[in-house]
Structure 1
Amino acid sequence: MSQKSLQNYIPALTGVRALAAYLVFVSHFGYVFDEYFPHSVQRFFREFHIGVTIFFVLSGFLIAFRYYDNFSLNKDWFKKYLKNRVARIYPMYAILTLGAFVYYFFSHDQSIVAGTGHPVLMFLMNITFIRGFFDQLKFTGIAQGWSLTVEECFYFSAPFMFYFAKKYGKPYLQPFMITGFGFLLVLMFRNLNWYGFFGNFTFLMLFTFLGRCFEFFTGIMLALYIRKNGLANNHKFKFTYLGFVLIFVCVWIMSVLPVLPGLAFGQQHPLGIITNNYLLAISIAIFFYGLITEDGTVLKRILSNKFVELLGKSSYIFYLIHLGYVYNMLNFSVNWLNDAVFKLYDQWGVDWVSPFQNEQLNLLYLFVVLNGIAIILFKNIEEPVNHYIRKSDFLVKNKSHHPENATAIKVD
């Protein structure tokens, strides 16, 4: 594979982050439009949590593409690797998590501490990602941040996965061995009433790295295939479109599965778990393969657009703020504006329509504002802090040359 091809920049892989974040947004707030759609369509939109799987497959691809050929388990390499991972993920998560608990101090929103009455303990468990191992605590702090516990577990595990793959071969066995270990943990702890620590198999398969490792593994295998075969487009078949269609076939499958008592998604059905964790991951990998190797497709042009690329770069922040205290405060502000407008109309003695009285329009307003906030925070905090940490002597002294910068498909 040529050095030129290795240094190609694939903006579509950045743009796809925005697609993933917006799918999750629709999954959380699509109910606002329920009155306009039949039940089958409502169920379809509810399964758009697939954005999380897109993030996981993409992470597996990027980490393997950057590090598989140059990783080392020595102390200095591991410190540099962790430094780059911390710079990318941790600053904004820490800032926004701190904001969640400041919000709790004033609002006493019990969802932030899961009604435990232990805000300091919950803050420590959130800031260290530990809460993601407990079924009853996974949605504390920034609720959607549970997925970062999964990401961090992958980051720590990836070098060891690479080591065993090179040393013993048969890497396809790894995800099943890892998930098997997770099954043993559930059997050990499911009768222990400790906030649901590996408390059941559904939690294991949907909310932990041990259950969702195949999604990362699928990205890893795609990266290894592309490293071996290059980026050249030697096929006439459009894998971009095939993968995209298959992704939504998986969504449809989950949307028609029965929702089990006490649960909310078809994804939580045993067949839904298989579809989400395995079939969907493979479909996403096919989609990514097309985006990386094919030119001229409509989807690649859209996802490569400069503005969509910017939305992709800021999508991590959008993901962290689209649900929870930031959204709640914005929604409260919109409702306050609506009341203020009607008070003004009363003073004027007119019976006009408020621009903030329609719930569907309000959601669109908030979607735009959340993106605006995400872009501002990305430009002024996330990106500068990321660069500062990478150039600093945190964990390991900075060197001007990083292997990942010379050999990776750059995404952000």
Structure 2
Amino acid sequence: MAQKAVQNYIPALTGVRALAAYLVFVSHYYYVFDDTFPHIVQRFLGEFHIGVSIFFVLSGFLITFRYYHNFHLTTDWFKQYLKNRVARIYPMYAILTICAFIYFFFTKDESITRGYDRPVWLLIMNITFIRGFFYRFWDTGIAQGWSLTVEECFYFSAPIIFLIAKKYGRFYIQPVIITAFAIIMVLIFSHVDWYGFFSNFPFVMLFTFFGRCFEFYVGVQLARIVLNKGFERTNKIVYTYLGFALIFLCVLAMAFQPIPKGWNAGVQSPAGIIVNNYFLCIAVALFFYGILTEQTVMKKVLALPFVELLGKSSYIFYLIHLGWMYNLVHSGTNWLNDYVFTLYDKWGVDWHSPFENDKLNLLYAFVLLNAIAILLFKTIEEPLNHFIRKSDFLIKNKKSNPENSSAQIK
């Protein structure tokens, strides 16, 4: 059963990626509902950054599910592994990041550079993912792209994680050592003024792999369980809905935390960090285990072809939902609103504009950004992904490589 499980494709897990991206979207624009919902509801929506945790646990699961039983620490294997990771993640990130700095060149929008006066150097730091280690730069360029630095750290670490777990049986001690390393780094560099490199605990614990490694390890352990036991189980616990409920219980717990000075969410408080980094990911793993082993309405919805398409394009949606692309959409909406009222003045009528309501405009932006994401996925991301996998980049192409046809594995 375990061997058969490795070959299965789970469309619902692709659909989960769309759900995660949309949760992050809500967390960035919940303020639009300030005059609609009570304060605690606004705080609740503001903690929907949990979509990032879902991505991290999912990455840990998928990479382990694919590679745990067939990794070899040889040069050729590692080149093929890196080639597949580059094909999946890098092209669209690089293209959209370069576009962000072109946008800055024309608009001087400091949300791209955060006031740093060396944009070329900053572009290099963004393209190479280095910016994710510096508190001064982590939210420059495509701000939400900080999570890709975290992902890349896991990708490079995964073969070592597998080796230590299989050869030495040291699995559970690994995240403890990595987190201890993060603490030591902060204690050292909090006294060094080097652009915020490992400069404070909230930054390191929430925005670097060293602080968030436990989420990936939970995904890794889930995959090890499934690889060992398969998709069959005897107990009747509905893990899908149990895990889903626990996820939002964690959100509620973070919503009740005081927001530390200089930050903007409860997750950045000490208790919020603990809930987000150590309890939320366990709830996510229970949710995934239910998706993998149960037949529920939620699983059927997440596996619908259109939801699956949204999941496949969700990586692009995540990269464009905040920042320069959204700014262009928002500016376009404002222009349309002004143009409509100009027409009304010309016609001598006193009508409402379809673009005067911020909530509707957010909905328009959501739909348009999804359409753009699907278009870019079909015309650029997917073709480039396949091209790189089939090319001789890093290592000569092996036509029998099973991952060349995999759409789900990140």
TM-score range, shorter chain: over 0.9
Offset from partner CA, 1:284-317 (integer Å, 9 cap, x none): 000000001101x121111111111000000000
Match of 1:180 in 2: 180
Aligned pairs for 1:192-203 (under 5 A) are 192-203=192-203
Match of 1:333 in 2: 332
Match of 2:258 in 1: 258
Whether the aligned pair in 2 keeps the contact of 1:13 and 1:411 (CA below 8 Å) is: no
AA at the equivalent of 2:224? L
Question: Is the alpha carbon distance of 1:263 and 1:193 closer, same or farther for their aligned partners in structure 2, counting shifts above 3 Å?
Answer: same
CA distance in 2, matches of 1:410, 1:150: 19
Match of 2:205 in 1: 205
CA distance in 1, matches of 2:261, 2:183: 23
AA at the equivalent of 1:327? Y
Question: Is the alpha carbon distance of 1:188 and 1:6 closer, same or farther for their aligned partners in structure 2, counting shifts above 3 Å?
Answer: same
CA distance in 2, matches of 1:92, 1:345: 41
Stretch deviating more after TM superposition (113-122 or 5-14)? 5-14
AA at the equivalent of 2:41? V
Match of 2:389 in 1: 390
Match of 2:122 in 1: 122
Structure 2 gaps, min length 5: none
Match of 2:79 in 1: 79
CA distance in 1, matches of 2:227, 2:407: 10
Residues matched between the structures, number: 410
Offset from partner CA, 1:258-284 (integer Å, 9 cap, x none): 112222111011111110001000000
Whether the aligned pair in 2 keeps the contact of 1:338 and 1:354 (CA below 8 Å) is: yes
Match of 2:60 in 1: 60
Whether the aligned pair in 1 keeps the contact of 2:2 and 2:227 (CA below 8 Å) is: no
Q: Does residue 1:11 correspond to 2:11, yes or no?
A: yes
Match of 1:292 in 2: 292
CA distance in 2, matches of 1:273, 1:209: 14
Match of 2:310 in 1: 311
Could you list the runs of 4 or more consecutive aligned residues of structure 1 that deviate by over 3 angstroms after TM superposition? Answer: 2-5, 403-406, 408-412
Question: 1:274 aligns to what SS in structure 2?
Answer: helix
CA distance in 2, matches of 1:26, 1:409: 26
Structure 1 gaps, min length 5: none
Whether the aligned pair in 2 keeps the contact of 1:338 and 1:355 (CA below 8 Å) is: yes
Q: TM-score, normalised by structure 1?
A: 0.97
The Cα of 1:60 is off from its aligned counterpart by 0.2
Whether the aligned pair in 1 keeps the contact of 2:313 and 2:377 (CA below 8 Å) is: yes
Whether the aligned pair in 1 keeps the contact of 2:66 and 2:409 (CA below 8 Å) is: no
Whether the aligned pair in 2 keeps the contact of 1:134 and 1:196 (CA below 8 Å) is: yes
Whether the aligned pair in 2 keeps the contact of 1:97 and 1:127 (CA below 8 Å) is: yes
Q: TM-score, normalised by structure 2?
A: 0.98
Aligned CA RMSD, in angstroms, stands at 1.4
Q: Percent identity?
A: 65
Question: 2:203 aligns to what SS in structure 1?
Answer: helix
AA at the equivalent of 2:128? T
Offset from partner CA, 1:174-220 (integer Å, 9 cap, x none): 01101111111111111111110000111110000000000000000
Match of 1:399 in 2: 398
Match of 1:246 in 2: 246
Q: Does residue 1:24 correspond to 2:13, yes or no?
A: no
CA distance in 1, matches of 2:191, 2:353: 54
Match of 1:351 in 2: 350
The Cα of 1:391 is off from its aligned counterpart by 0.4
Match of 1:221 in 2: 221
Whether the aligned pair in 2 keeps the contact of 1:7 and 1:409 (CA below 8 Å) is: no
Whether the aligned pair in 2 keeps the contact of 1:254 and 1:266 (CA below 8 Å) is: yes
Whether the aligned pair in 1 keeps the contact of 2:131 and 2:138 (CA below 8 Å) is: yes
Question: 1:88 aligns to what SS in structure 2?
Answer: helix
CA distance in 2, matches of 1:404, 1:2: 18
Match of 2:372 in 1: 373
Match of 1:268 in 2: 268
Whether the aligned pair in 2 keeps the contact of 1:66 and 1:409 (CA below 8 Å) is: no
Offset from partner CA, 1:94-129 (integer Å, 9 cap, x none): 000000000000000112112111000000000000
Whether the aligned pair in 2 keeps the contact of 1:136 and 1:195 (CA below 8 Å) is: yes
The Cα of 1:402 is off from its aligned counterpart by 2.2
Question: 2:172 aligns to what SS in structure 1?
Answer: helix
Whether the aligned pair in 2 keeps the contact of 1:314 and 1:374 (CA below 8 Å) is: yes
The Cα of 1:7 is off from its aligned counterpart by 2.1
Question: Is the alpha carbon distance of 1:335 and 1:273 closer, same or farther for their aligned partners in structure 2, counting shifts above 3 Å?
Answer: same
Offset from partner CA, 1:20-61 (integer Å, 9 cap, x none): 000000000011012110001000000000000000000000
Offset from partner CA, 1:323-375 (integer Å, 9 cap, x none): 00000011000000000000011111111111101111000000000000000
Match of 1:46 in 2: 46
